[in-house]
Amino acid sequence: MQLNPPHTLKEIASFIQADFAGEPNFIISGINEIHRVVKGDLTFVDHPKYYQKALNSAATTIIINQKTEVPEGKALIFSEDPFRDFVALIKKFKPFETASGMISPTAIIGAGTHIQPGVFIGNHVKIGSNCLIHSNVTIYDYCEIGDNVIIHSGTVIGADAFYFKRRPDYYDKLHSCGRVIIEDNVEIGANVTIDKGVSNDTTIGAGSKLDNLIQIGHDTIIGKNCLFAAQVGVAGCVTIGDNVILWGQVGVQKDLEIGNNAVVLGQSGIAKSLKGNTTYFGSPVLEARAKMKELAMMKKLPDLIEKLEG
C-alpha cells in the first residue's frame, strides 16, 4: 500500500506511540508485508527467526520488537507488539468504507462494458472497456480490471487475505489493504475467489484463463496467458510465470515460484519452486516421466516382497 502523501518516520512512530531510531524526517512511502516490500516501504517483524530477513529486505523502515543496530540507509521503530501496530497503521491509512449501493458512485466503468443484474462493485473500483461481468459477481474496493475481461457468475474478486497471527487463545487478523489487478483479455470462470493482497496486489496477467471453482491466494502474481483448470488452489505470495498450465485440482503451497511454460498435471501437489519448460506430476511433484516410472516400479513391489519372503 502506497502512502499518498508519504509520511516521516517521526509521524509514523507517533501514530503508534513508539520509539524509533533514525532520522526523524526519514521518508516512509508505503506499508507492506515482508513478501512484497520495495524501497521506501515500512514492514514489521516479531520473531527472531525472521529478524535478518526483515532487516536485509528492500524495506527501509522496520517495526521490530528488539533493540538492535540500525542498518545503513534504514530506520527502525521499536514496538512491544509489531503485528498489532502494523495492523493499527493499516486501519489508519486505509479504513473500511461502507457501501452505499450495489455499484459505488466512485467506481469507474469503461465504454462498452456490460454489468449484469446482481453485480456488486465496491468503492474506487476501475473496470476497463468491453468487459462482461455476469450476475452475482462481487468486486471489492479498489480492485482494477482491464479491457475485454469476462467474469462469470458467483465469482468474488478482492476478499481479504487468509492471514492470521496465533495468539494464546485466538487468531489475530492481519487486515488486508491490498488490491486485485486483472489485466486485459482475462476470463474468469464461475465461483472463483481471488483474494486481495495483504498490503500489495494480487495480479492476474493478460490473456490468462481461469476455470470454475479456483482459489487464488493473497499477493500471488500470475503471468500472462496462463491456463488453470477447475479446482486449482494457489496459496499466498506465489509467483507464476507466463504460459503456465495447471490442470484440475492442482494445489500450490505458499511463497514459491513456477517458471515460464511449466505444465502441472491434475491432482498434483506443489510444495517447492518449479523450473519452467517442464511437465510435472504427483504429490509432491516430480518431472512427469520420472514420476510415472516411480509409480510403475511401486506396482512391482508386492511381487518383489513375495519373492524375498519366499
Q: Residue 154 corresponds to which cell in the numbers above?
A: 458467483
* Residue given cell 525472521 in the structure block: 50
The catalytic residue among 7, 35, 152, 218 is: 218
Phi, psi of 34 (to 5 degrees): -55, -30
Question: How far is it, in rounded angstroms, from Cα 183 to Cα 146?
Answer: 5
Q: Residue 236 corresponds to which cell in the numbers above?
A: 499466498
Question: How far is it, in rounded angstroms, from Cα 260 to Cα 274?
Answer: 9
Question: How far is it, in rounded angstroms, from Cα 8 to Cα 17?
Answer: 14
Cα 185 to Cα 3, 27, 121, 147, 263: the distances in Å are 30, 38, 19, 6, 21
Question: How far is it, in rounded angstroms, from Cα 165 to Cα 273?
Answer: 25
Q: What is the DSSP letter of 11?
A: H
152 is catalytic: no
Say if CB 241 and CB 248 are below 8 A apart: no
- 164-189 burial, b at 16+ Cβ within 10 Å, e below that, comes to eeeeeeeeeebbbbbbbbbbbbbebb
Question: How far is it, in rounded angstroms, from Cα 101 to Cα 91?
Answer: 23
Catalytic positions, please?
A: 218
